[in-house]
Structure 1
């Protein structure tokens, strides 16, 4: 039986509070999540009731006000398009009932200040590393065991000893500051993108230039250092970056105090072994199954918004605009707006934009909630005029520990508010029509256990077109046969790279359209982020049967059958994006044009544990006039038409 975790299984089991699905990874085997899914068919529409809250581990919910990150106007008279942002070690309270937490921060704040720029106006940033000490968290491995979830706070026994199966992760406590900043979603040259190997130590500065030649949107900056991104971001190194333009200005969307960032994250905290009290120290706890060693991405029981655990926000009875970012290492959020009785009011919410810009028109929240995977952004409009004097909650119905995120406290008096969501948002938006002359890249993700390797992997594929190149026997490690849903033709692919430092195989000519074919062969879902361009989702297909992929052998025993149509593409999914979630058994196609910047870039799963464990690869964009002289891995000049080596 296939043990993949599809979207319905993952979200339904999590909504029930089933600890058998942790951040999208099946830890209890194939049967438990399926049972949970069948037991939790979500009700539709307004009036859906949500499950009751889970333990709060001693912290009062909604006690503290939401903190609003400071805003830096990059093109003000004071800054004139040049900034110095300093990374510093700071101490702050994540909750007023906690001791201070030591963090690595930008400008002493968690999250960092919101940088605001104008479209098509260049910004130069000097990212100065003045961090000190070693990484401010404790990292452990803990066995998953029912009925106590392994991502509860703390990890030691009452006498201070380590329980059976719990161990400190060797080397993490010694990690020094070594950092490189990536502006996620920026269209900038490779030298400014935050190449993972280009980390800098304290006393050094990373110099970057961002052209900002893109439409109004919410980007975010975060650490991207090779192999330690998960620890550095978890320690606090992230912040929002807003691009403004005239198209957005003309819409007169809520601004000022009525436009608020909501940066979502989750964290775990250490406890005092003698008293059990929370110490405030960040705890990075891997969960694993002792029998197989299979691990789940790190998640935590405490949900933070703008660096505050379970905050509240006093709001006027009028429309607001919220710039929402999922900054979590591995947590998926399924967002619902509910009242004190638990009744869902998503009909008061409109989706105005996604990762890379405004939608053509406001979109409704999908039935069952809005799923936001790590690194995704969403631009929400919420009408609080319908709820004077009420308290509403933003909740995560995909949470296995605690659904509550934050509380909105609506004022009692009604206000005059002339704002009405416009019927048309982005007049510059066009739905992509990919030209016939384009390139194709094929990438497959695999579940843990392939050929005995413990982590999921990401394979770059090259199509085998000559009969003499076909394997003599199947399965062969790294060789996949799939049936193309468009033509019904069986296509054979060989894996040409799977580790970050393997030979670069994907080369793109500047100005070319490229369709990325992302194929998920089972296991956890993967939010896939491709640097340097904006993309649209073209199609989603779903394999009904993945048993042809032999996990132990690492190849297909027979061609995977043609996938059928997957879940329909929602209206908000038609927008420009840079991160796409790849659910189990899906084949999605996303298209983007590499029309501006050049250089070497990365693409990867944005579950940071997966990224650091190997699910990241490079690609190159260069001028077409140069590509004919470039010697590719085969030894001859690069094909002038495009990628060639990514499955062209």
Structure 2
């Protein structure tokens, strides 16, 4: 079976679809005769659930803008995720067992005011709720239990507060090789933005995240608060994920893999239901005014391409991973990869009371290709619907706040490469060689191989990332925000045959490129910490190893260092991650 999928991934796009279809048929047959197991890419469908019967919940908030120390733990809880589902067992963050929730509490921080968090592990299970694949590199605590470590995604912080994958710890007291402390410090000396915290344990990130270990983190500023953007009840967080469920409410996560060498690991987990803020297909009542939505796509592998059912409405994007865009972007569709954040406005003021608007998703699994024929997980209506907006009248005498979306939100990002670029790195996304255990790799290296990316602080680099895998991947780089310069399609067949070169520019007949460099699409605009690297393209990034403005207020060269990795969590867990070691000289 491993050879089948490896062949699918290496084949031409047309052959990929046929190959995946054959694989799906085989796996569907397996699932029929092993119904007690959850087979990778052939999960039993979730029970039929009526959409739009649960009101959108808003995660609880904790104000950390006064600099006081916070203690947050991970707990085992149960929570109702749909009216017609029994309570679901989860691992979730909170200040106590009683207050823990999925998603976890939203932390509200203030720019330039440090946040201190002590992260605790109160999950006393001897085994994880999902099956752990012991064939891949994972935490493997000596005394069992559920290891955890928290990464504040998008944060500029010391590496010993970054949630290094090997800095895990358990409730029983076992710790990973790079563990130093459970006390983390977040300086918040960066631009106002939406960050998020999630588990980052080596070989187990996909499991802990699917179990519920995720939450939001806002950095606010006096500048943002002075703007007349929608705020308070008109600023709505949306954490969007996908899951499969059993009839008893438990999460259906694969326990049977498709590679003999990896008996339990699945390369991609896709759910057939969409959750927003921990509810399946919820609804939100809105007034006839502008709303600001702070969106995070936090699934294991799923891309989303959002649209609105009302033709007169558009998304007005004002921010991305790293904060405000230079100016608003108006669009009919909104593409988001795993770990993407989008700050956007929807104006409902033109719609009469009683109107219902649906936010839908058109992105297929195995994005961006056409899903294999007969792949039921992608054809079910549940993949296409996200949530419902219901336009309602405000209470009598309600004073609607004045809101305004500025035409200029932030300085234009500087993509000037002068006076010079210090380093140009050519990197690849690729599969492990034939005859070896199946893994997805960065630059042909595994996570535990010695660091090859060791940038010098306050220098500028261009990363040219060549995707040779056959599928599209979101790449996340810790510590800094970066800018995308361009992307360029190449002929992988000629490249594999060795009769062209990526070192030669289009339209040289010996160049592998089949087009000039293309500018970033809207989904890749602005300051990013995660970027889509499309199949059979070279994606070029501009990285300045410094804060957006000024200097770091901490030493980024201390141990254990940072990482960069694919943010499809199933890939990250199977070696698609590399160390990132900063240096002064």
Band the TM-score falls in, shorter-chain normalisation: 0.7 to 0.9
**2:543 matched to which residue of 1?**
592
**1:562 matched to which residue of 2?**
512
The alpha-carbon deviation at position 127 of structure 1 amounts to 0.5
Match for residue 390 of structure 1 among 330, 355, 370: 355
The alpha-carbon deviation at position 544 of structure 1 amounts to 3.1
**2:199 matched to which residue of 1?**
223
1:490-524 CA-to-partner distances (Å, cap 9, x unmatched) read xxxxx5xx111111122112111122221101322
Tell me the number of residue pairs that the alignment of Structure 1 and Structure 2 aligns: 498
Deviates more, 1:509-518 or 1:377-386: 509-518
Match for residue 157 of structure 2 among 165, 174, 188: 188
1:549-590 CA-to-partner distances (Å, cap 9, x unmatched) read 27xxxxx57645332236542345331000001110011111
**1:371 matched to which residue of 2?**
335
**1:249 matched to which residue of 2?**
225
Distance 2:343 2:518 in 1: 23
**1:61 matched to which residue of 2?**
51
Residue pair 2:288, 2:393 contacting (<8 A) in 1 also = yes
1:440-461 CA-to-partner distances (Å, cap 9, x unmatched) read 22220114664554232221xx
Deviates more, 1:96-105 or 1:440-449: 440-449
Say if 2:86 is the partner of 1:99. Answer: yes
Distance 1:393 1:135 in 2: 40
Residue pair 2:494, 2:500 contacting (<8 A) in 1 also = no
**1:206 matched to which residue of 2?**
182
* Paired residues for 1:136-147 under 5 Å: 137-139=129-131
Match for residue 299 of structure 1 among 270, 277, 301: 270
Aligned to 2:223, the other structure's residue is in SS state helix
Alpha-carbon spacing, 1:116–1:135, altered in 2? closer, same or farther (3 Å) = farther
For structure 2, the residue ranges without an aligned partner over 5 or more in a row are 1-6, 24-44, 95-99, 134-139, 174-180, 365-377, 503-510, 547-551
Say if 2:250 is the partner of 1:269. Answer: no
The alpha-carbon deviation at position 282 of structure 1 amounts to 1.4
Residue pair 2:421, 2:461 contacting (<8 A) in 1 also = no
Alpha-carbon spacing, 1:264–1:187, altered in 2? closer, same or farther (3 Å) = same
Distance 1:621 1:354 in 2: 25
Alpha-carbon spacing, 1:20–1:71, altered in 2? closer, same or farther (3 Å) = farther
Aligned to 1:508, the other structure's residue is in SS state coil
Give the structure with the larger strand fraction: 1
For structure 1, the residue ranges without an aligned partner over 5 or more in a row are 11-18, 31-54, 142-170, 271-277, 460-494, 551-555, 628-648
Residue pair 1:5, 1:525 contacting (<8 A) in 2 also = no
The alpha-carbon deviation at position 387 of structure 1 amounts to 1.9
Say if 2:572 is the partner of 1:622. Answer: no
**2:417 matched to which residue of 1?**
434
Alpha-carbon spacing, 1:269–1:288, altered in 2? closer, same or farther (3 Å) = same
Deviates more, 1:514-523 or 1:216-225: 514-523
**1:408 matched to which residue of 2?**
389
The alpha-carbon deviation at position 269 of structure 1 amounts to 1.6
Distance 1:308 1:239 in 2: 14
1:174-208 CA-to-partner distances (Å, cap 9, x unmatched) read 96211110000101111111111010111667111
Distance 1:254 1:90 in 2: 34
Aligned to 1:387, the other structure's residue is in SS state coil
The alpha-carbon deviation at position 330 of structure 1 amounts to 0.6
**1:467 matched to which residue of 2?**
none
Match for residue 74 of structure 2 among 84, 87, 91: 87
The alpha-carbon deviation at position 290 of structure 1 amounts to 8.2
Aligned to 1:249, the other structure's residue is in SS state helix
1:405-425 CA-to-partner distances (Å, cap 9, x unmatched) read 111111157985632321111
Residue pair 2:466, 2:538 contacting (<8 A) in 1 also = yes
Deviates more, 1:447-456 or 1:328-337: 447-456
Match for residue 331 of structure 1 among 279, 287, 302: 302
Alpha-carbon spacing, 1:263–1:98, altered in 2? closer, same or farther (3 Å) = same
Match for residue 326 of structure 2 among 343, 360, 367: 360
Distance 2:149 2:432 in 1: 29
1:315-366 CA-to-partner distances (Å, cap 9, x unmatched) read 1111001110011011111111114xxxx45x4320010001100110022x
* TM-score of the pair, normalised by structure 1: 0.71
1:234-276 CA-to-partner distances (Å, cap 9, x unmatched) read 1111100000113322322111111011000011123xxxxxx
**1:528 matched to which residue of 2?**
475
**1:609 matched to which residue of 2?**
570
**2:440 matched to which residue of 1?**
456
The alpha-carbon deviation at position 75 of structure 1 amounts to 2.1
Match for residue 282 of structure 1 among 243, 247, 251: 251
Aligned to 1:546, the other structure's residue is in SS state helix
Distance 1:606 1:227 in 2: 13
1:585-632 CA-to-partner distances (Å, cap 9, x unmatched) read 011111122222513100000000000011000011122xxx3xxxxx
Deviates more, 1:561-570 or 1:398-407: 561-570
Distance 1:576 1:592 in 2: 10
The alpha-carbon deviation at position 140 of structure 1 amounts to 9.7
